[in-house]
Structure 1
Amino acid sequence: MKTASDPRHLARQKTVQSLFAWQAQNEISPQQAKLPSDPKAAALAQNLKIVDRLIKAAAPEWEINKINQIDLAILRLAVYELVIETKEPSKVIIDEAVELAKEFGNEASPSFINGALGQVLINPIRLQKIIADKLGVDEDRLEASADLYRDLNATDLEIGDLFAFLEKDYNFVFEPGFKPHTVGDLISYVEDQFA
């Protein structure tokens, strides 16, 4: 974990606070709510549908409007960083979210946030985004039946780089000789590691 004085941690605190304020304003007057002033919070607000869809899938027993508002702000930020932004390793993002939950949430917040983000981590939408980013293809081309080599023109080197990223991000090792042919093969394999 980064220290409390780390500029990235402080920036996340500011973003969570901005999101929290924006959520409160949006709840009172949705038509008049402006985008948050924090740049990352504003970018997140523009991707809110996908972020909230992933949160709903990760915590199906909770309606979005029933989640504690500070927990929701922390979840939204972490999901945005895990799925849309993808600049930091997933472990860093989840650890930071848990720390923010300890700072701002109640005693149940850290475990709730950790559990929900664990589900987001293995969501097929996130996996598709990683595959698209690492292979340099449009996400629209990533149907389950898309052949990695023929349809997406991936090279063995690109597949190797993708494997290395997934192994590091998900903390597992691909079986020697595993060679997926389709996007669906690869996603199923990764999901099976967590079943």
Structure 2
Amino acid sequence: MGRRELREHIFRLLFRIEFHKEEEMQEQIALYFDSLEEVPQDPDLEYIRKKYMDVSARLEEIDGKLDEVTEGWSVKRMAKVDLAILRLAVYELLFDEDIPTGVAINEAVELCKKFGGEESPAFVNGVLAKLA
């Protein structure tokens, strides 16, 4: 499975955070994988789980960074799709040394094109450019 596909799975899990309590997320992860026609195999499954856990463990810090660079916007006001994509991308920019800055930004924009609204790619690109 390619990195883009892996990111998409992580994004989908991060998106669920906005609709479920923290204590429900382990069950939500299991439900998500049960709903897939083709469940990722190890080591892809482990990569998805680990990266999801790493991002979710730093949500407060990531959201703080987002609030710092988004004038007039708070994470509470952002579209949930954009927020999930930004959280993943900010994690990759700040904490994942294996992902080059340009790749993290480009992949976030690609996720926006697929899942976000019309303005999402430009918004996400602008926010990430301030952090890069």
After TM superposition, the runs of 4+ consecutive aligned structure 1 residues lying more than 6 A away are: none
Answer 1 or 2: higher relative contact order, Cα 8 Å, separation at least 6: 2
1:105 aligns with 2:116: yes
Q: How much identity, in percent, do the aligned residues show? A: 34
Partner of 1:119: 130
Query: Does structure 2 conserve the Cα–Cα contact (< 8 Å) formed by 1:22 and 1:33?
Result: no
Partner of 2:25: 34
1:52-108 CA distance string (max 9 Å, x none): 111111213111111000100000000000001121110011000000000000000
Q: Which runs of 5+ in 1 are unaligned?
A: 1-5, 122-195
TM-score (norm 1): 0.54
TM-score (norm 2): 0.78
Distance 1:85 1:33 in 2: 26
Structure number with higher helix proportion: 2
Q: Which runs of 5+ in 2 are unaligned?
A: 30-48
Paired letter, 1:13:
E
Distance 1:118 1:46 in 2: 23
Distance 1:99 1:69 in 2: 16
Alignment of 1:23-102 (within 5 A): 23-26=18-21, 32-34=23-25, 37=29, 38-102=49-113
Distance 2:104 2:97 in 1: 9
Partner of 2:13: 18
What do you get for the CA RMSD once the two structures are aligned?
A: 1.6
Kindly name which structure, 1 or 2, has the bigger radius of gyration based on alpha carbons. Answer: 1
Paired letter, 2:92:
E
